[in-house]
Amino acid sequence: MNNSNAQTYLDDCRDELAKVDLIIQAFGQFNDAVPFLTKYAIIKACGTIEQCFKTIIADHSSNGQSQQVKNYIDETVRKSSMNPNYSNICSLLKKFDGSWTTAFKNAVNAHTDKAQIETSLSSLNEERNKFAHGGQPSASFVNVQDYFTHARKIIDMLDTIIV
């Protein structure tokens, strides 16, 4: 990965999900703590994807810029709250460079696992939003691990475009 910050976020999330998996295995699948650990995993995984896509765009766009431009990018991109869904990623890319949006869409459309990637990214966002708005997520911990594994491919594609 070109962006070392995004790589660190992805690696840290992967490691935390592995630790949660070990805890769930030790407690047993039907332990009362498992739903809480699953909700944590949803927030962690979705938040990591959000942090990564904003970091890749912001790091590249602020490189070599004046402090004023860096401040603007920090405030409007890094510190923004933005669900990491396909539409929001495309919208943010377009604000910087329309060709980035086109290249990103082309990469996603050409990917052999396009449907799985899009479904996983969407599911991760839906589960986070359910929980964030007082609902009960329906995903299992294994689902969350799978969603993260597939959704991070979006980050990998974005990282190859924004260089």
Q: What is the CATH number of domain 4-161?
A: 1.20.120
DSSP, residue by residue, 58-72 = HHHHHTT--HHHHHH
Q: What is the mean pLDDT of the chain?
A: 97
State the pLDDT at residue 122. Answer: 97
pLDDT band at 163 (very low <50, low <70, confident <90, very high): confident
pLDDT digits (tens, 9 = 90+) for 113-151: 999 999 999 999 999 999 999 999 999 999 999 999 999
pLDDT band at 21 (very low <50, low <70, confident <90, very high): very high
The ranges assigned to domains in the chain are 4-161
Q: Report helix, strand or coil for 142.
A: helix
pLDDT digits (tens, 9 = 90+) for 80-104: 999 999 999 999 999 999 999 999 9
